[in-house]
Amino acid sequence: MVEASHKLYVKKAVPASAWRACLQVLRRDLLLSLRRRSEFSNPLFFYVIVVSLFPLAISPAPKTLQMIAPGVIWVAALLATLLALEHLFRSDYDDGSLEQLVLSPHPLAALVFAKVVAHWLVTGLPLLLLTPMLAMFLHLSAQQTSILLLTLFLGTPTLSLLGAVGAALTVGLRNRGLLLALLILPLYIPVLIFAVASVVNAGVGVVVTGQLAVLGALCVLALCLTPVTTAAALKVTLT
């Protein structure tokens, strides 16, 4: 009776609305990063600067650079991702948007996944686009560069997804950046190993489909497990 008299409470189920909510979160996050560009461009500059330090620190000899290039680029990408991840939930936590996200009737894991996708689109993807230039700096062959891009394409989503768990666990803390690195870097080791190995192997003409398959498998595993874990972590740390 009460319900019937109250015109506000007409509840109309909209099918696939969780999907629409995710798209809206994705859209909102992309719009936000468009309006505060520095937050997302800084890690990219960091990436370029770190990589250009190595020729200065070690040697500008093309042979040496070629040898260290896969490792250097990957470690720099790892660190840049880590830096960018600090911002994944930060502003949402500070202004309370995260609370509203958690209180939404939609599954938090799906919303969180949308946020990670948005984050990868503005950090991981530009990183990928900058890489050919850096590969040229370090005298990588075209063939190695293409494999490097492939590993980054398969690997950086895993880094973002895994990092999201760490970002969620440290969201309310003051010195979260350093702690995030402590928690997450050890977990990045498998991706690093397989990615660098496939670029190195490609350089000596070994078939690398196996390593790439492992990277793909890690990515799929992260896709399946991390959104739920991140959501659980957020529910804990938001208190």
Partner 1 sequence: MWTFIHKLGSPKHCYRIAGYFIPYLGTISIVCFIYGLVGGLILAPADYQQGDGFRIIYVHVPSAFLSLSVYMVMALSATVSLIWRIKMADVITKVSAPLGATFTFLALVTGSLWGKPMWGTYWVWDARLTSELILLFLYVGYMALESALEDRHMAARASNILVLVGVVNIPIIHYSVVWWNTLHQGASISLLNKPTIAPSMLYPLLAMLVAFMAFFFAVMLMRARCEILLREQKSNWVKELVQTT
Partner 2 sequence: MNGQNNINTEVAPLLNAQNLLCERGERVLFANLSLSLYAHQALHVRGVNGSGKTSLLRILCGLLPAVEGEIYWCGRDVRHCQHEYRAQLAYVGHKSGIKAELTAQENLRTAQMLLAHAPACSPTDALDRLGLANVINLPCGLLSAGQQQRVALARLLVSGARVWILDEPFTALDQNIVALVSALIVEHVQAGGAVMLTSHQVVALPGIELNYFTLN
Q: Which does 21 bind (CB under 5 to 8 A by kind): partner 1, partner 2, none?
A: partner 2
- CB of residue 54 to partner 2, shortest distance in Å: 36
What is d(CA 81, CA 121) in angstroms, rounded to the nearest whole number? Answer: 12
Kindly tell me which of 172 and 190 has the beta carbon lying closer to partner 2: 172
Let me know if 139 is exposed, middle or buried by CB neighbors in 10 A (0-12, 13-18, 19+).
middle
Rg over alpha carbons for the chain, rounded to the nearest Å, is 20
Q: Which does 104 bind (CB under 5 to 8 A by kind): partner 2, partner 1, none?
A: partner 2
Kindly tell me which of 107 and 216 has the beta carbon lying closer to partner 2: 107
Binding site for partner 1 (CB under 8 A): 165, 169-170, 172-173, 175, 179, 182-183, 185-187, 189-190, 193-194, 197, 214, 218, 225, 229, 232-233, 236-237, 239
DSSP assigned state of 8: G
Half-sphere exposure of 103 (CA within 13 A, CB side): 6
Binding site for partner 2 (CB under 8 A): 2-3, 5-14, 17-18, 20-21, 23-25, 28, 31-32, 35-36, 91, 94-97, 99-106, 111, 238-239
Q: Are 237 and 180 in contact (CB under 8 A)?
A: no
Distance of CA 172 to the CA centre of its chain: 20
Which helix (H) or strand (E) is 213 found in, with range? helix 209-237
- CB of residue 236 to partner 2, shortest distance in Å: 8
What is d(CA 36, CA 173) in angstroms, rounded to the nearest whole number? Answer: 22
Kindly tell me which of 91 and 143 has the beta carbon lying closer to partner 2: 91
Q: Which does 12 bind (CB under 5 to 8 A by kind): partner 2, partner 1, none?
A: partner 2
Kindly tell me which of 126 and 177 has the beta carbon lying closer to partner 1: 177
Q: Are 163 and 229 in contact (CB under 8 A)?
A: no
